[in-house]
Amino acid sequence: MKTSLIMITALVLTGCVTTGTPTDRQLALYYSPEQTTLTAQQKSNVAALFDAAPRWALDVAPSSDARPFQALHISQQRIKAIRQLAARSGVRLTEQYQPQQTADTVIIREP
């Protein structure tokens, strides 16, 4: 419990989690164009966020790859690690493809 509080505090202080009200938590993950997995810091941030609630929604943008099917494939690779962390934490995810969202991003938010 203490570790969870420390992690959440660190996230807030680094600006990775934006909170308006207690029911408006989210985490935006930004990927470099060639990145297909989470960095250690991103894994830590996601795990801390998943400790806060049992259900989350993923807004998944395509990658910036010019080939549409490759862009979709890269996006799927990126959320694979998020799915694995959710499974370990017992978190249920709702995934939504967001083609209008900024390329190379995944936003994890409360549903």
6-19 confidence digits (pLDDT tens): 445 444 434 444 43
Class of domain 2-109: alpha beta
Map out the domains of the chain as residue ranges. 2-109
Query: Rounded CA gap, 30 and 42, in Å?
Result: 9
Q: Specify the pLDDT at position 24.
A: 63
Q: Specify the pLDDT at position 108.
A: 96
54-72 confidence digits (pLDDT tens): 999 999 988 999 998 888 8
Q: How confident is the model at residue 1 (pLDDT cuts 50, 70, 90)?
A: low
40-59 confidence digits (pLDDT tens): 999 999 999 999 999 999 99
Q: Residue 60's closest CA among 109, 26, 99?
A: 99
